[in-house]
Structure 1
């Protein structure tokens, strides 16, 4: 059965470990030991070398009978995270001390998975083959899962425990997310004595930005320029300007079209002032949508209802490892991991919510 005391102890222990993106070594060692103790075989891939980090993705298997099922979480946390000190409150709420994030994103999800596995093991219950993936560098747009060898996975369905909000939540759709960097090149000149001999890189970038529609481009697409840098002194015509932004859309085709439009806008603005322009971009996430009639969604809804929880399906505008899984043909649903206010120093979780989600996950593990 699910044990809240064990959940509490595990979460407090994990949350106290520093595990920033690309620096998950201590967390990977801790989780490798925990999974092996639960009877799973564990292997670590070469993501550390590929990403220049210090730990790889962990992939674990627990033999069983029937159709395999995959569950995932991620090991890294956002900043500020160094020296996290989880605080357990009398009502079962867990927070940080206010100077760092708590790391419930995604250590609450990791704790839930460990508890479900532990309860199945100690109760000696039969189960299908179970696969567990704990990824590194998820926060910087799925860098860890992007380099994972998905050919190792036998499951065709998966649950990603990495969702903010109340127990029972499930994101059935998520967007494509593309980050881009535009470098505009101009020509330096003295801004007082010979401004006409220069090519103003910042002016060219500004002309392009002014022509772009920021914010909601349409009902399912957004665009944002969030960083601009350029120039070396107030009396020099700037010969370089770097612009960084991102776009998101529930439609991958729309995201690609918008990226082309952004590139064209910058190119035309640069040419009009005699500047040069180049763009680099990366799709960290690709859009997907899961129907509520699919087995992966029905299984979750049934498990929630069995636990006395109303399932709540909705679209999210954030990315997760589910984007990578769905892109590789593994139908994946992102489900609540009992985290609240993630990516802030006010982040918290509740032991009771982790216990309820562990109950739901356990049910799905037993009835794949």
Structure 2
């Protein structure tokens, strides 16, 4: 039903249009034209002005030809580096890059599959309710696009996010919440060779705190990591200040708060032990979500996959995505795999069979929803 050759050609075209975070406009304009030709009304919100991108999020609506409830499909426009001058290659049932860049299947595979599915719905005159499409900016650098999305423009209460790696049929029904920590440790400068006892090493304080900390895999639902440490100017100076960035994630909100407070407590206790000071900022990156397998949105995807002859399965994710934010705003959302593998690396690829199945699955979701 879907036109495989056209779909692959579109994907090849899309990935060759650079769209790094905050510079998505060229690619966004191409997709806007495609949606307009399909009959969508287009609105570009003000998120770009708020986050420093050269375009806002795209919100598109195609009025239904039936009384079915509206549904929403979402992908993100931006890609991670190195994403300039991508040269896609078709090889042994996959599409890969030439090895010098990422491929950009995250998330242009989702976009290409969605556009092909929508073309098919129009060409085959398939009955559908109102379809909304949200294409976000700056997802890869902190979900900044969706955080500033004009949610008041949306009617849908269910969203299918096309932004997960793995074989088509995977339904992400659970995702973690994340807290970010920004820590500044203030010690006291002194000459490290002449009078080190007069100083307080911020590095030593932080090292002591981190040595007492539970990190990485805490349990099957919880992780924590110290990601960035900055500080120090010379080896002959007792370091007076360092800056640290850390995170904690968990599927369970109580565990998330417990892990976060444990990390904060380790820094506070270390500062007290050495006579230093510590300043800690805690920020909620996103909240956890969990969708029951019995929910209609999950059942719809399972039936769509069954219709096209593939197996659907549910899974939880250790990462955050726009899916988390949709759920926070009361729009029930699941994240669906597109056949992509090795995201954020030069070894990224898309399995062509899964890629084609993603478009077929979307058509069936529209038919069944």
- Partner secondary structure for residue 59 of structure 1: strand
Q: For structure 1, which runs of at least 5 residues remain unmatched after alignment?
A: none
| 1:144-188: CA deviation from partner (whole Å, max 9, x where unpaired) | 111112222111111100111112111110111223221101111
Does structure 1 residue 358 correspond to structure 2 residue 325? no
TM superposition score normalised by structure 2: 0.97
- Contact kept in structure 2, 1:4 and 1:351, CA below 8 Å: no
Residues in 1 aligned to 2:195 and 2:351: alpha-carbon distance in whole angstroms:
64
Residues in 2 aligned to 1:143 and 1:304: alpha-carbon distance in whole angstroms:
31
- Contact kept in structure 1, 2:103 and 2:346, CA below 8 Å: yes
Q: For structure 2, which runs of at least 5 residues remain unmatched after alignment?
A: none
Does structure 1 residue 326 correspond to structure 2 residue 330? no
Return closer, same or farther for 1:255/1:362 CA change in 2, 3 Å cut-off: same
Residues in 2 aligned to 1:92 and 1:156: alpha-carbon distance in whole angstroms:
36
Match of 1:161 in 2: 162
Deviation at 1:22, TM superposition (A): 1.5
Residues in 1 aligned to 2:254 and 2:44: alpha-carbon distance in whole angstroms:
35
Which has the higher mean CA deviation after the structures are superposed, 248-257 or 288-297?
Answer: 248-257
| 1:37-91: CA deviation from partner (whole Å, max 9, x where unpaired) | 11101111111111112121100000013200011001111111121111123x4
Deviation at 1:331, TM superposition (A): 1.0
TM superposition score normalised by structure 1: 0.97
Residues in 2 aligned to 1:360 and 1:331: alpha-carbon distance in whole angstroms:
19
Deviation at 1:111, TM superposition (A): 0.5
Deviation at 1:140, TM superposition (A): 2.0
Match of 2:245 in 1: 244
Match of 1:85 in 2: 87
- Contact kept in structure 1, 2:190 and 2:238, CA below 8 Å: yes
Residues in 2 aligned to 1:255 and 1:44: alpha-carbon distance in whole angstroms:
35
- Contact kept in structure 1, 2:74 and 2:134, CA below 8 Å: yes
- Contact kept in structure 1, 2:304 and 2:368, CA below 8 Å: no
Residues in 1 aligned to 2:289 and 2:85: alpha-carbon distance in whole angstroms:
36
Deviation at 1:229, TM superposition (A): 2.0
Match of 1:59 in 2: 59
Match of 1:177 in 2: 178
Aligned residue pairs total 367
Residues in 1 aligned to 2:108 and 2:278: alpha-carbon distance in whole angstroms:
42
Does structure 1 residue 129 correspond to structure 2 residue 138? no
| 1:286-319: CA deviation from partner (whole Å, max 9, x where unpaired) | 1111111000000000000011011111111111
Match of 2:227 in 1: 226
| 1:181-239: CA deviation from partner (whole Å, max 9, x where unpaired) | 21101111111111122121111111110110112223311111122221110110001
Residues in 1 aligned to 2:44 and 2:285: alpha-carbon distance in whole angstroms:
22
User: Residues 12-51 of structure 1: matches in 2 within 5 Å?
Assistant: 12-51=12-51
Deviation at 1:9, TM superposition (A): 1.1
Deviation at 1:273, TM superposition (A): 1.2
Residues in 2 aligned to 1:18 and 1:52: alpha-carbon distance in whole angstroms:
17
Residues in 2 aligned to 1:123 and 1:38: alpha-carbon distance in whole angstroms:
13
Which has the higher mean CA deviation after the structures are superposed, 217-226 or 299-308?
Answer: 217-226
